């Protein structure tokens, strides 16, 4: 018998709307979706087009994944922890307090079965999850007054988003949900005592140091927050194998590309912030210890009644335990030596 001649299959034209949970002003995070879109378009000579829309243009930022799940739009670029109120398991696709750092998150996602575990859950939500961006460890926010001990956290009205609020309220903090543009006037008037945003690069644009000069670190609730592209499950399944591969590869590249972008921008922004009045402060040890214990309580409470959360959180925790053992050896000691040189003016 003769083999059938190969018929040239033309690549299909696919146009998706991708709603971002972020405004264009958060250009590095918003930019990760643009990078993904650019890579996909270039790889397909423009046949597979991802049109990125800023938060609010099609869908409110905090409802992006809901719109994707419902099929209103094909995909979104978001932080899955925004939806923790539907199910705390959502938070594990981004980060939880004292979670995995950037490199550990990638190791767990790409080699520790993390992506499959997350999709086992997200598929029940009609979503396909692709990691797509990371901020690295964020800062712990801006405070009008110094925090000298855990007692100073008591009664503090703090702008802090989402799942972290559930943990920090155990320290006596009163979490406030305030949109980005309203934070500065709230701090200025003293309606709130503190606010967290992202890190030096994004924070600098909002000028917080003028009204709340004490800039605390580390952001223990944001150890390696992973952004993601969430695709409507049916739309994902409709893609050709080549388009699935192109989108996956573009997201994996954008995931690392966004971290590189922040790592390039944050050092300059930090120097500028300090030159303009920001006063860097480490959180007191008793604050970190109490926060860590509060977080463990929250995880135990949720795990007692939520099997998917427990399964995924246990997997992350087991990997984290070993990863932080290894991190103490080569990486840590290399970096500490280099930091010592930096402090001595020898770098």
Distance set, CA 154 to CA 10, 157, 171, 270 (Å) = 63, 9, 7, 28
Compute the distance between CA of residue 173 and CA of residue 167 in angstroms, rounded to an integer: 9
Answer for which of 20, 37, 95, 255 binds its own copies (CB under 8 A) is 255
x/- string (CB under 8 A) for its own copies, residues 110-149? xxx-----------------------xxxx----------
Considering only residues 34-53, where is the footprint of its own copies by CB under 8 A? Answer: 39, 42-45
Nearest to its own copies of 69, 320 (CB atom): 320
Question: Binding to its own copies by residue 266, rule CB under 8 A?
Answer: yes
To its own copies, the closest distance from the beta carbon of 252 in angstroms equals 4
Per CB under 8 A, does 21 bind its own copies?
Answer: no
Identify whether the C-beta of residue 109 lies closer than 8 Å to the C-beta of residue 115.
yes
CB 69 to its own copies: min, Å: 26
Q: Is 98 in the site for its own copies (CB under 8 A)?
A: yes
DSSP annotation string for 76-135: EEE-GGGGTTT-GGGGGGT--TT---HHHHHHHHHHSSHHHHHHHHHGGGTEEEEEEEE-
Asked if residue 69 binds its own copies (CB under 8 A), the reply is no
Segment near its own copies (CB under 8 A), from 17-25, 73-81, 263-271, 302-310? 263-271
Cβ of residue 208: shortest distance to its own copies, in angstroms? 16
Per CB under 8 A, which of residues 281..340 are in contact with its own copies? Answer: 282, 288, 292, 317, 319-335, 337-339
When binding is defined by CB under 8 A, the residue of 261, 284, 313, 316 that contacts its own copies is 261
Which residues fall within 8 angstroms of residue 297, CB to CB, at 6 or more apart?
170
Indicate which single residue of 70, 280, 304, 307 sits in contact with its own copies (rule: CB under 8 A): 280
Beta carbon nearer to its own copies, 238 or 331? 331
217 binds its own copies (CB under 8 A): yes
DSSP summary character for residue 278: -
Assess 263 for contact with its own copies (CB under 8 A): yes
Give the Cβ contact number of residue 49 at 10 Å: 15
Phi, psi of 100 (to 5 degrees): -65, 145
Q: What is the spatial distance between Cα 287 and Cα 295, in angstroms, rounded to a whole number?
A: 12
Longest dimension (CA), the chain: 84
Nearest distance in Å: CB 224, its own copies: 9
Q: Which residues inside 159-198 make contact with its own copies, applying CB under 8 A?
A: none
Peptide bond into 218 cis (omega under 30): yes
């Amino acid at each position: 018998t003769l083999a059938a001649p190969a018929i040239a299959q033309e690549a299909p034209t696919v146009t998706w709307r991708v709603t971002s949970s972020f405004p264009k002003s958060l250009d590095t995070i918003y930019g990760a979706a643009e990078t993904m879109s650019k890579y996909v378009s270039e790889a397909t000579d423009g046949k597979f087009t991802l049109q990125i829309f800023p938060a609010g243009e099609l869908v409110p930022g905090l409802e992006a994944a809901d719109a994707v799940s419902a099929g209103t739009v094909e995909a979104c670029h978001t932080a899955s922890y925004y939806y923790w109120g539907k199910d705390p398991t959502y938070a594990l696709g981004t980060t939880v307090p004292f979670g995995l750092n950037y490199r550990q998150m990638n190791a767990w996602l790409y080699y520790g079965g993390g992506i499959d575990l997350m999709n086992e859950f997200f598929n029940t939500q009609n979503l396909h999850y692709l990691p797509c961006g990371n901020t690295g460890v964020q800062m712990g926010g801006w405070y009008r007054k110094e925090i000298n001990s855990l007692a100073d956290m008591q009664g503090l009205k703090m702008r802090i988003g989402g799942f972290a609020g559930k943990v920090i309220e155990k320290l006596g903090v009163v979490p406030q949900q305030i949109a980005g543009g309203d934070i500065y006037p709230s701090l200025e008037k003293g309606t709130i005592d503190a606010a967290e945003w992202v890190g030096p690069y994004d924070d600098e644009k909002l000028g917080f140091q003028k009204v709340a000069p004490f800039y605390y670190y580390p952001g223990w609730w944001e150890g390696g927050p992973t952004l993601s592209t969430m695709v409507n499950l049916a739309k994902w399944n409709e893609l050709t194998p080549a388009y699935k591969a192109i989108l996956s590869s573009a997201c994996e590249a954008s995931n690392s590309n966004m971290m590189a972008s922040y790592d390039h921008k944050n050092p300059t922004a930090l120097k500028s912030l300090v030159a303009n009045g920001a006063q860097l402060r480490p959180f007191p040890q008793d604050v970190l210890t109490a926060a860590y214990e509060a977080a463990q309580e929250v995880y135990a409470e949720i795990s007692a009644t939520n099997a998917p959360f427990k399964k995924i959180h246990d997997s992350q925790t087991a990997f984290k335990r070993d990863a932080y053992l290894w991190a103490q050896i080569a990486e840590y000691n290399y970096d500490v030596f280099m930091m010592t040189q930096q402090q001595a003016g020898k770098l």
